Amino acid sequence: MLAIRETLTASRRAPLLSALGVVTIAFSLFAFGLFGLVAINIRTALEQVEQRVEVRGFLADGTAIESVSAAMKDIGEFPEVARVDYVSEEQALARARKEMGEFADVFEAGVLPASIEVHLRVGLRSPRVVKSVADRIRTYQFIDDVRYGEEWVEKLYRLRNIATIAGTGLGLAFATVAVIIIGATIRMAVLARAKEISIMRLVGATDMFVRLPFLIDGLVKGLLGGLLALLFTWFANRTINRYFLETVFFDPQLMFLGILAGALIGVLGSFVSVGRHLRSI
């Protein structure tokens, strides 16, 4: 109870310092939030492109539909495969005409072969997996040719790896900067009350008792800073959506995690700052 009262008293006595602390935490987390927003949008875009990764097996002329059905069932049971579709000659022609628009007349009936389209499961679309599935499909005698855009899949995979590594590195850098700034902010609050802390210790308050008001202070500032940062990020996202391009925002789970991270950084920063101070007096 006294710890909460002390926290409130300290905030009331130095409202500017407290507000500055919350705003600093908010801006640090906002920078991290903006980075997160870019990261999840790149990831979403890559996932959308990845969904188009498929292996297409072209059927030899005159293949019996029974053989194709049996093979499709067989392929559908591969652990990597999500779905297998049959594309008849007519469907292939209709699709090609639609895609070519004004040049639709180029295609004549019977030019395009029937095929099976094999869609892979999420997370199993790496060049190695795609090639392995393509090789197995190729073993069916009635399969004339297998296409899966080898180069394209490899480029996509490389891009995804670069995005993951760069994202993790930048994310860690942003998070480190946020933690350092937040730590410094909390250290300021600790130093502002250095005399109080030294008196507390001299009259016999336990270290935990000394720490508690600061931990509560850090928790509250972290939570408020996190909420404020989320609000800033939401505004930024809305502005980008309205004037530039369509983006996705954090889902509720990520928003909750972001606020929780703010609170955690606040508590941790306080714990470390007060600990350092206690050791120095």
Partner 1 sequence: MIRLHEVAKEYPRAGLALSHISFAVRKGEFVFLTGPSGSGKTTILKMLYMGERPSSGEVLVSGVSSRTARGRQVSQLRRRLGIVFQDFRLLEDRTAEANVRFALEVIGVPKSVIGAKVNRALTQVGLVSKATSYPRELSGGEQQRVAIARALVNDPFVLLADEPTGNLDERATRGVFQLLRDINASGTAVIMATHDLDLVRRSEYRTIELNHGRIVFDSAESAPSAQSAEGGGKAHMRTPTDW
| Least gap, CB of 205 to partner 1 (angstroms) | 4
Q: How far apart are CA 135 and CA 139, in angstroms?
A: 7
For partner 1, which is the closer residue by CB, 205 or 254? 205
The two structure tokens encoding residue 152: 């394209």
2 binding partner 1? (CB under 8 A): yes
Q: How far apart are CA 11 and CA 31, in angstroms?
A: 25
| Least gap, CB of 2 to partner 1 (angstroms) | 6
Helix (H, G, I), strand (E, B) or coil at 270: helix
203 binding partner 1? (CB under 8 A): yes
CB 85 within 8 A of CB 107: no
Please report, for residues 18, 166, 262, the alpha-carbon distance to residue 233 in angstroms, rounded to integers and kept in the order given. 22, 21, 14
Burial class (CB in 10 A: 0-12, 13-18, 19+), 142: middle
| Least gap, CB of 278 to partner 1 (angstroms) | 11
Site string for partner 1, 12-31 (x = CB under 8 A): -x------------------
Q: Using CB under 8 A, which of the segments 94-102, 141-149, 167-175, 206-214 binds partner 1?
A: 206-214
Q: Which of 199, 231, 248, 260 binds partner 1 (CB under 8 A)?
A: 199
Residue 177 CB: number of other CB atoms within 10 A? 13
Q: Using CB under 8 A, which of the segments 16-24, 83-91, 191-199, 256-264 binds partner 1?
A: 191-199
Q: Which residues contact 264 (CB under 8 A, 6 or more apart)?
A: 222
| Least gap, CB of 223 to partner 1 (angstroms) | 25
Q: Using CB under 8 A, which of the segments 25-33, 129-137, 194-202, 243-251 binds partner 1?
A: 194-202
Burial class (CB in 10 A: 0-12, 13-18, 19+), 94: middle
| Least gap, CB of 17 to partner 1 (angstroms) | 13
Residue with tokens 């002329």: 61
Q: Which of 17, 46, 205, 272 binds partner 1 (CB under 8 A)?
A: 205
Q: How far apart are CA 115 and CA 239, in angstroms?
A: 45
For partner 1, which is the closer residue by CB, 13 or 138? 13
Q: Which of 198, 271, 272, 275 binds partner 1 (CB under 8 A)?
A: 198
What is the amino acid identity at position 180? I
Q: Which of 90, 135, 150, 207 binds partner 1 (CB under 8 A)?
A: 207
Residue ranges binding partner 1 (CB under 8 A): 2, 13, 195-196, 198-207, 209-210
